[in-house]
């Protein structure tokens, strides 16, 4: 099972390639759709990594991709950091189990 990155910037792509993860750049809505479709068709790819910024720009595409059964879609921050709140993990756990941490 392989991981595959779809990134909106060259720096993230280069860093992940150094770690052994292949990927491509997507600079438009159409390119993102094409690369996701190609990744889902490749049965060797089990995890698709996307920059978090894609969720901000194209939430409909990212949400639909997460429903795909062929590969797990994971959002990752780019070199500029995450767009999530600093207490994201704590609040997520609190909501999931109903206990304030």
CATH number assigned to the domain comprising residue 42: 3.40.50.10580
First to last CA, the chain: 36
Residue 61 near residue 26, CB atoms below 8 Å: no
Q: What is the model's pLDDT at position 69?
A: 87
pTM score of the predicted model = 0.78
Q: Cα–Cα distance between 73 and 4 in angstroms, integer?
A: 10
Q: How many domains does the chain have?
A: 1
- Per the structure, the complete domain to which residue 16 belongs is given by 2-97
pLDDT tens-digit series, residues 65-82: 999 888 999 988 876 656
pLDDT tens-digit series, residues 22-47: 999 999 999 999 999 999 999 999 99
């Amino acid at each position: 099972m392989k991981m595959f990155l779809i990134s909106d910037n060259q720096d993230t792509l280069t860093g992940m390639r150094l770690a052994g993860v292949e990927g491509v750049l997507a600079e438009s809505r159409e390119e993102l759709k094409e690369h996701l479709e190609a990744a889902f068709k490749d049965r060797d790819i089990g995890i698709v990594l996307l920059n978090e910024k894609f969720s901000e720009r194209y939430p409909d595409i990212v949400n639909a991709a997460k429903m795909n059964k062929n590969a797990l879609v994971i959002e990752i921050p780019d070199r500029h950091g995450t767009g999530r709140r600093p207490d994201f993990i704590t609040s997520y756990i609190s909501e999931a189990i109903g206990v304030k941490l």
